Structure 1
Amino acid sequence: MTAAEELLSIAERATSYDGVEPFSEQTRLALRHTAPEHVITSDGVVVAGAHVADDGAVELVVDPAHRRHGFATRIVQGVLEQRPSARFWAHGDLPAAQALAASAGMTAVRNLWRMSRAVEAAPPIESPTVPTGFTARTFTAGDEDAWLDLNRRAFAHHPEQGRMTRADFDERAAEPWWDPAGLILVVDDATGELAASHWTKIEAGQHDTGEVYVVAVDPGHQGHGLGKVVTALGLAHLAARGVIHIDLYVEGDNTAAVATYRRLGFASDSVDVMYAALGA
Structure 2
Amino acid sequence: MQQSTALSPAQVDAVHAVAQAAAAADGVAPLSEETLLALDRTPGGDGTTATYLTVVTDGTLVGYGHVAPDGSSEIVVHPDSRRHGHGRALLEGALGVRSDVRVWAHGNLAPARALAASLALEPVRELWRMSLDVESHPAPEPVVPRGFRARSFEPGRDEQAWLDVNSRAFAHHPEQGRMTLADLRDRMDQPWFDPAGLILVEDQKSGALAASHWTKIADEGGEVYVVAVDPAYQGRGLGGVVTALGLRHLASRGVARIDLYVEGDNAPALATYRRLGFEQSALDVMYSRTVHERLPR
Q: Which residue of 2 aligns with 1:127?
A: 141
- Superposed CA offset, 1:75-110 (max 9, x none): 111221221010000000000000011001000000
Mapped contact 2:65–2:76 kept (Cα < 8 A): yes
Mapped contact 1:112–1:252 kept (Cα < 8 A): yes
SS at match of 1:224: coil
Instruction: State which of 241, 258, 263 in structure 1 corresponds to 2:253.
Output: 241
Instruction: State which of 152, 171, 187 in structure 2 corresponds to 1:138.
Output: 152
User: Shift in Å at residue 133 of structure 1?
Assistant: 1.4
Instruction: State which of 222, 225, 245 in structure 2 corresponds to 1:213.
Output: 225
Aligned letter for 1:89?
W
Q: Which residue of 2 aligns with 1:23?
A: 31
Note the 1:38-57 alignment, pairs <5 A: 38-57=53-72
Structure 2 residue 114 is the aligned partner of structure 1 residue 99: yes
Mapped contact 1:183–1:200 kept (Cα < 8 A): yes
Structure 2 residue 175 is the aligned partner of structure 1 residue 160: yes
- In 2, Cα distance between the equivalents of 1:45 and 1:137? 49
Structure 2 residue 131 is the aligned partner of structure 1 residue 109: no
* TM-score, scaled relative to structure 2: 0.90
Mapped contact 1:153–1:218 kept (Cα < 8 A): yes
Q: Which residue of 2 aligns with 1:272?
A: 284
Instruction: State which of 7, 29, 32 in structure 1 corresponds to 2:15.
Output: 7
Aligned letter for 2:226?
V
Mapped contact 1:36–1:49 kept (Cα < 8 A): no
Aligned letter for 1:66?
S
SS at match of 2:251: helix
- In 1, Cα distance between the equivalents of 2:94 and 2:222? 35
Higher mean displacement: 87-96 or 75-84: 75-84
Structure 2 residue 176 is the aligned partner of structure 1 residue 176: no
SS at match of 1:202: strand
User: Shift in Å at residue 6 of structure 1?
Assistant: 1.0
- In 2, Cα distance between the equivalents of 1:227 and 1:46? 44
SS at match of 1:187: strand
* TM-score, scaled relative to structure 1: 0.96
SS at match of 2:89: helix
State the identity %. Answer: 57
Mapped contact 1:186–1:195 kept (Cα < 8 A): yes
SS at match of 2:228: strand
Mapped contact 1:10–1:61 kept (Cα < 8 A): yes
Q: Which residue of 2 aligns with 1:73?
A: 88
SS at match of 2:261: strand
Q: Which residue of 2 aligns with 1:225?
A: 237
Structure 2 residue 260 is the aligned partner of structure 1 residue 252: no
- Superposed CA offset, 1:122-143 (max 9, x none): 3x32331011111111111301
What is the aligned-residue RMSD (CA, Å)? 1.2
Q: Which residue of 1 aligns with 2:52?
A: 37
Aligned letter for 1:140?
E
User: Shift in Å at residue 4 of structure 1?
Assistant: 2.6
Q: Which residue of 2 aligns with 1:197?
A: 212
Mapped contact 1:92–1:273 kept (Cα < 8 A): yes
Structure 1 runs of 4+ with >3 Å offset: none
SS at match of 1:76: helix
Q: Which runs of no fewer than 5 residues in structure 2 stay unpaired?
A: 1-8, 43-49, 293-297
- Superposed CA offset, 1:141-175 (max 9, x none): 30111000010010111111111111111111111
Q: Which runs of no fewer than 5 residues in structure 1 stay unpaired?
A: none
- In 2, Cα distance between the equivalents of 1:83 and 1:12? 27
Mapped contact 2:51–2:68 kept (Cα < 8 A): no
